[in-house]
A and B are shown apart, each in its own frame.
Chain A
């Protein structure tokens, strides 16, 4: 097209000859990948003294504020059905965080394509650790269907393929693993 639309922003990475490598070439050594590192990390202890809490509504606003501060773009709280929760540790709530993803991490295996996953893991690691330090159970649960929980928490809707579509970012969003917790929260949606 000769006449480009002037308001259309030029893709900043068009003239970068290495950008495609960054987004699409999977790492040769997985030890170089930070998502792998965080995924493999063990879970810490729950702090023995429970912090005094406010009402579930206020605690929810604190959890969401903390998640946003750590780096989540969207955050919601859903009620967990009994089949998602581990039997030995009853966790009635799921905190679901989502981050913006310019490239779909499912189809972009490069270091850059996995940056949303990395950011999501960072948020869930620190947030779940923080909830444990508040004295409550919190487990990052890759097994739980995070996108379904995100839809239940009102972050967006699921498309026929089961992916989350949000008002803020459309389908360009990565839903991080859900955090299952017994912190008394007020679920959204």
Chain B
């Protein structure tokens, strides 16, 4: 207790108490690293104005034109009281129930807590064994919220000794709406499932406390816990790729707890072999933030490293048209509806011996390119949104309307509301050339 950030011990391979964790084939801890300090991550940097005026104003001083974004996105609201995550994340912390529920069989409790998370609405839930390297350095971090607890002065080692398990629960984005990413429809898929995930995790945290055990938030790096618990593997796009949903899952703040559980293991669904060959996300990324090359060692971890700064810098330029890019998640061949042929493909990849996988990957990639396109272009209409309208064009916004329209977009039906909600799927790489230097 009482140790500060500066004295946090880096991951030590020789440490007998906390041996280097195995994180699957996609991520390997190869050296000493320092714990992630969330104060140095993109959003906090931007909140302090360290990324320049354009981004600062985008974060703090813009109100979205889209009503749904104003109630579901983490900023750009007109009134934050209309944004439910404010209510949930800024709530005071409940007390841990003094009457502990005895746990004789951790396996039964693990099944229970997973059933509870699913019952509350989580799509994916898994347990990771905590490790000091997964803990954040410095203070607690919950986006657009607060998390404080009595253990803020503990070292990562101290935390892990006291709280050995991490509950990773998350929600998946809607597949059909995600097809209209770079549009408010895609934003709806992303943001609505995100606020739902906030609620589920808050409820789960409260329930763990009601069971009589401690639940800490804002302590664990979600990606690390996600890989360690087998929620997914880390892809080239820097996203966790799940067996069922592909890259279309959130990685919200997990729960660190002392509830006796049985941890899950990292998985191998062939993401390692696929990402080596595919590069679909790198080709489609509008800012070229995803590498075409090999893995690199960053902070002692061998993985694909994206350029977060160029990725982040896109946002103020596109703010008028959409909120979240999501291109790398959408084009990922693992991101498909959860249907039998998808399960079959993942099963084939999983059971295929590793040396034979490149061949299978090339076959699956060819199928993916054939049916979903090298660059995906799909028009989605939902409510009064339509992703197929080019900027400057007027369109009929009646969902499902098939009436003929004249050159001014006037339809021959009753509704005269023709001002379209502009789709912005069109500008792929071309329009971003002006502010992103590209080397390929």
Contacts and interface: CB of A to CB of B under 8 A. Distances in A.
A47 B78 CA distance: 7
Interface in A39-75: 41-45, 47, 51-55, 58, 61-62, 65-66, 69-71
B59 interface: no
B97 A28 contact: yes
Contacts of A115: 119-120, 203
B82 A51 contact: no
Interface stretch (B87-95, B134-142, B267-275): B87-95
Interface in B57-88: 67-68, 70-72, 78-84, 87-88
B89 to A, nearest CB: 10
Contacts of A98: none
B415 A31 contact: no
A107 interface: no
Contacts of A70: 192
Contacts of B116: 22, 112
A166 to B, nearest CB: 21
Contacts, number: 151
B162 interface: no
A159 interface: no
Contacts of B161: none
B209 interface: yes
A158 interface: no
A126 B84 CA distance: 7
B92 to A, nearest CB: 6
Nearest to A26: B210
Given A62-B383, A70-B192, A133-B67, A118 B93 contact: no
Most buried by B among A21, A34, A62: A34
Given A31-B95, A69-B188, A126-B195, A19 B112 contact: yes
B412 interface: no
Interface residues of A, number: 51
Interface string B31-42: 000000000000
A69 B81 contact: no
B115 A129 contact: no
A54 B398 contact: yes
A44 to B, nearest CB: 3
Interface in B369-386: 382-384
B347 to A, nearest CB: 24
Contacts of B119: 22, 112, 115
A32 B87 CA distance: 13
Nearest to B401: A58
A69 B184 CA distance: 14
A18 B202 contact: no
A28 B208 CA distance: 12
A122 B196 CA distance: 8
A162 to B, nearest CB: 27
Interface string A159-182: 000000000000000000000000
Given A34-B202, A52-B419, A122-B199, A44 B79 contact: yes
Contact of B398 (A12, A29, A58, A71): A58
Given A37-B87, A65-B382, A126-B72, A133 B78 contact: yes
Contact of A32 (B195, B209, B417): B209
Contact of A29 (B71, B94, B108): B94
B429 interface: no
Given A16-B108, A70-B192, A71-B121, 14 more contacts: A19-B112, A22-B112, A27-B206, A28-B95, A32-B95, A34-B202, A41-B84, A42-B81, A45-B79, A69-B192, A71-B196, A115-B203, A122-B84, A122-B196
26 contacts: A16-B108, A16-B112, A17-B105, A17-B112, A18-B101, A21-B101, A27-B94, A28-B210, A29-B97, A29-B210, A31-B93, A32-B94, A32-B206, A34-B88, A38-B84, A38-B87, A41-B81, A45-B82, A58-B384, A62-B383, A66-B68, A69-B192, A70-B192, A115-B119, A115-B120, A133-B68
